[in-house]
Amino acid sequence: MAELHQAGVKFNVGTSRSLFDIKFSSGVLEIPKLRVSDSTELTFRNLLAFKQCHCENMNYLTNYVFLMKRLDSSSKDVELLVENRIVQNGIGENSGVSTLLNNLDSGIIVSNYYYATLCDELNIYCRTRRHKWMANLRQNYFNTPWSTVSVIAASVLLILTLIQTVCSVRSIN
């Protein structure tokens, strides 16, 4: 998740009521809200066990858990999701949510990965240098109004200095 953020991907809460309706378009990843509480792990494990035993076709829950594990590899990733109101943390620390999501996929088998095209699109977006450069500018140089004003003021001063130098050289000739 942090790598996606550094590449300029924006995170929004999805409007769909379905947990599995995750979309990526124009640099924006929409993920429906996930409410994590003390009973979340038990509920997910029971549903995963049932789906693994009785559903031979597309298993959306297994795919969802696998994707969330890939997205949330650390507590910083969960912190980013909490900040963007995608994850509603009801268990306390972000590291607990990260551990929960990382441990859910133990023993599951993923076939016919439903989010394969989504992952491919995210990888292509993140490999583009322009997106990384723009994200770096926004996150490091234009992250506050004062830094934006100072960069603009410095640019104006540089342009005025250049104009003054050109005028001085012309007046000498």
Q: Are 33 and 85 in contact (CB under 8 A)?
A: yes
* Residues in the chain, pLDDT under 70: 55-58, 173
Helix (H, G, I), strand (E, B), or coil: what is residue 110?
Answer: coil
Residue 77 lies in a domain: yes
Residue 114 lies in a domain: yes
pTM score of the predicted model: 0.73
- Let me know whether 51 and 110 are in one domain: yes
- Let me know whether 130 and 150 are in one domain: no
- Let me know whether 99 and 160 are in one domain: no
Per the structure, the count of domains in the chain is 2
Tell me what the pLDDT averaged over the chain comes to: 85
pLDDT at 56: 63
- Let me know whether 109 and 58 are in one domain: yes
pLDDT at 154: 93
- Let me know whether 167 and 105 are in one domain: no
Q: In angstroms, what CA-CA distances link 142 with 128, 138, 152?
A: 20, 5, 10
- Let me know whether 7 and 25 are in one domain: yes
pLDDT at 58: 55
Q: Are 126 and 7 in contact (CB under 8 A)?
A: yes
- Let me know whether 63 and 12 are in one domain: yes
Determine the residue type at 38.
D
117, 123, 125, 128: CA torsion to nearest 10: -140
Q: At what angle do helices 75-83 and 94-103 cross, to 10 degrees?
A: 110
The parent domain of residue 116 ranges over 2-134
- Let me know whether 26 and 46 are in one domain: yes
Residue 139 lies in a domain: no
- Let me know whether 151 and 82 are in one domain: no
Residue whose C-alpha is closest to residue 8's, from 165, 132, 120: 132
